[in-house]
């Protein structure tokens, strides 16, 4: 199998004058210019770092420099560790120590983050001008088991260092090419950061495929739409929170986005009604996929299958096996809720220097996703909730997604999140955080309470409603449930006080 550097080099020989990268500011780089720039940085980094197989972190603000540095490090066979440049110094210090990184590449905006960190710091110029010289020839192919260490988002706990080999990365690219029919004719938008696995895929996939990469480091609805229209983007994968934000534009003005041939939803499940609209009304091919950084894409729901299985997240991808099991890893029956575990040839080898955590999440060749769901008789997967998001109230399991689905049916509700907050009587109680489309929150709450009483069990009723203009997001674009939970818990609410008082009266 050809490695990533060699593959991009081959594309540069085939399409030397083709635009490889379009930056957010409109600047472009052809494939020849890209590989000449990679050559320059390969020499620079070789002199600064030295021998192969060092662990090298990257903490820079993104642009064309990101794939250039990654390809240079790939040629030199160093392990690449992308970091979030918006983290604080103490967070970065912890992450660097967890992966044994001895070198970090920084820019003028991030160098001060490492003043008090004992580490080899290499400052690079993000506004370089390429010099026309020879392109580095393809490197000999050898094992590159620790190509990249991706730190999980940490939205449900401490980030875990996920080790992915170069071979697995190439297999993941091949999977995307096959499922979404990616070709060298595509113009692919990357609106996810490189420290997230989706950003890595959308940065490197275009270059491996000989397509054009369009970079959008900082997502906004306005900029996403402008970039798609201006650069005639044909393919992208969006995290579901971004997709919700751009959906109105896509559906109201479909002709403006007629360059899109394929759009994919990733990272979290999307509301059934939203999904239905996208499948029916979007003027291009649409897919929903389910997966994780540890296993890549595990299921795919296309437009044909969505007509028969609209609530599912799709059927298993080629060579992927999905099981639903109980706490003892015994298989559940069809349509029965349980833990989702997945075996995939695209799986990570585990977590760096964390054998106990690896053994916990990788069991007998299966990855334990931490999600709850079920399989139907045709093998389609239905995602219900994150196991950590389940609210245990008075010893009973409450699934937030059931309550959210009911709330989202209200015509004035844009979206909702249901979380469990601490309670001295029940342990946890559900509360709803709602983004409304109108300002009359008192009326909406009254209507929601009436509607939910008629459609959900008593223990599923939110104890309190909070209204927000938007939800906090993790750096990778997922809704940050833990931040919401911590924020509301900090209020010190005692929501079961009235119920306890009623119970006392009854017991007299």
Mean local confidence (pLDDT), 202-229: 96
Residue 55 reports pLDDT greater than 60 = yes
What pLDDT was estimated at residue 138? 56
Q: Take residue 372 and report the two structure tokens written for it.
A: 């709850």
The percentage of residues in the chain with a pLDDT greater than 90, rounded to a whole number, is 65
Q: What are phi and psi of 232, to 5 degrees?
A: 55, 50
Residue 154 reports pLDDT greater than 70 = no
Q: Take residue 61 and report the two structure tokens written for it.
A: 């603000």
Q: How far apart are CA 61 and CA 195, in angstroms?
A: 11
Pairing outcome for strands 148-151 and 465-467: unpaired
Pairing outcome for strands 235-239 and 187-190: parallel
How many Cβ atoms are within 10 Å of 17's Cβ, its own excluded?
A: 9
The percentage of residues in the chain with a pLDDT greater than 70, rounded to a whole number, is 93
What pLDDT was estimated at residue 141? 58
pLDDT, mean over the chain: 89
Task: List pLDDT tens digits, range 427-484.
Answer: 889 999 999 999 999 999 999 999 999 888 888 999 999 999 999 988 777 888 889 9
> What's the Cα-to-Cα distance from 245 to each of 100, 240, 284, rounded to whole Å?
38, 9, 18
Strands of 133-261 (E only): list them. Answer: 148-151, 161-164, 187-190, 212-215, 235-239
Helices vs strands, H then E, count in the chain: 15, 26
Q: How far apart are CA 124 and CA 64, in angstroms?
A: 13
Sign of the torsion formed by the C-alpha atoms of 278, 433, 449 and 496: positive
Q: Which residues pair with 163 in a beta bridge?
A: 149, 350
Q: Take residue 249 and report the two structure tokens written for it.
A: 């534009």
CB 321 within 8 A of CB 342: yes
pTM for the structure as a whole: 0.84
Task: List pLDDT tens digits, range 325-367.
Answer: 999 999 999 999 999 999 999 999 999 999 999 999 999 999 9
Q: How far apart are CA 177 and CA 171, in angstroms?
A: 10
Its CATH class, for the domain covering 390-507, is alpha beta
How many Å from the N-terminal Cα to the C-terminal Cα in the chain?
76
Secondary structure (3-state) at 468? coil
Q: What are phi and psi of 193, to 5 degrees?
A: -70, 150
Sign of the torsion formed by the C-alpha atoms of 166, 316, 234 and 178: positive
């Amino acid at each position: 199998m050809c490695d990533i550097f060699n593959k991009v080099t081959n594309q540069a020989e085939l399409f030397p004058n083709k635009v490889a990268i379009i930056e957010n500011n409109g600047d472009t780089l052809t494939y020849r210019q890209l590989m000449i720039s990679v050559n320059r940085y390969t020499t620079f980094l070789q002199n600064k770092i030295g021998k192969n197989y060092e662990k090298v972190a990257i903490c820079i603000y993104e642009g064309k420099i990101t794939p250039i540095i990654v390809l240079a490090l790939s040629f030199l066979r160093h392990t690449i560790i992308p970091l979030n440049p918006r983290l604080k110094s103490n967070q970065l210090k912890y992450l660097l120590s967890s992966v044994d990184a001895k070198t970090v590449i920084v820019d003028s905006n991030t160098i001060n983050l490492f003043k008090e960190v004992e580490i080899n710091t290499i400052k690079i110029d993000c506004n370089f001008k390429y010099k026309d010289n020879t392109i580095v020839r393809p490197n000999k192919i050898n094992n590159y088991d620790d190509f990249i260490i991706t730190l999980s988002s940490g939205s449900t706990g401490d980030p875990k260092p996920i080790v992915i080999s170069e071979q697995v990365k190439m297999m993941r690219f091949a999977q995307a090419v096959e499922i979404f029919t990616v070709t060298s004719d595509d113009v692919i938008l990357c609106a996810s950061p490189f420290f997230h696995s989706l950003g890595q895929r959308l940065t490197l996939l275009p270059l491996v495929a000989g397509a054009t990469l369009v970079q959008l480091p900082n997502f906004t609805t306005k900029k996403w739409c402008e970039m798609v229209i201006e650069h005639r983007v044909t393919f992208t994968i969006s995290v579901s929170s971004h997709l919700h934000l751009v959906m109105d534009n896509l559906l109201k003005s479909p002709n403006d986005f007629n360059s899109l041939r394929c759009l994919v939803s990733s990272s979290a499940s999307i509301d059934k009604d939203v999904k239905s609209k996208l499948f029916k009304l979007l003027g291009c091919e649409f897919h929903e996929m389910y997966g994780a950084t540890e296993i890549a894409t595990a299921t795919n729901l296309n437009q044909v299958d969505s007509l028969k299985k609209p609530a599912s997240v799709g059927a298993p991808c080629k060579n992927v096996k999905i099981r639903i099991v109980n706490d003892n890893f015994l298989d559940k029956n069809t349509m029965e809720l349980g833990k989702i575990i997945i075996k995939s040839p695209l799986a990570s080898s585990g977590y760096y220097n964390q054998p106990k955590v690896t053994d916990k999440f990788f069991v007998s060749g299966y990855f334990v996703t931490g999600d709850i769901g079920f399989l139907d008789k045709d093998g389609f997967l239905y995602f219900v909730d994150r196991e950590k998001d389940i609210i245990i109230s008075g010893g009973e399991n409450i699934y937030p997604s059931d309550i959210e689905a009911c709330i989202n049916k209200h015509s004035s509700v844009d979206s909702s999140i249901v979380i469990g907050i601490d309670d001295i009587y029940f342990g946890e109680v559900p509360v709803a955080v709602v983004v409304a489309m109108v300002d009359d929150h008192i009326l909406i709450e009254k209507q929601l309470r009436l509607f939910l009483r008629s459609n959900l069990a008593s223990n599923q009723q939110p104890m309190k409603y909070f209204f927000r203009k938007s939800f906090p997001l993790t750096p990778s674009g997922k809704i940050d449930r833990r931040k919401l939970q911590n924020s509301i818990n900090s209020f010190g609410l005692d929501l079961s006080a009235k119920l306890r008082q009623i119970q006392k009266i009854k017991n007299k």
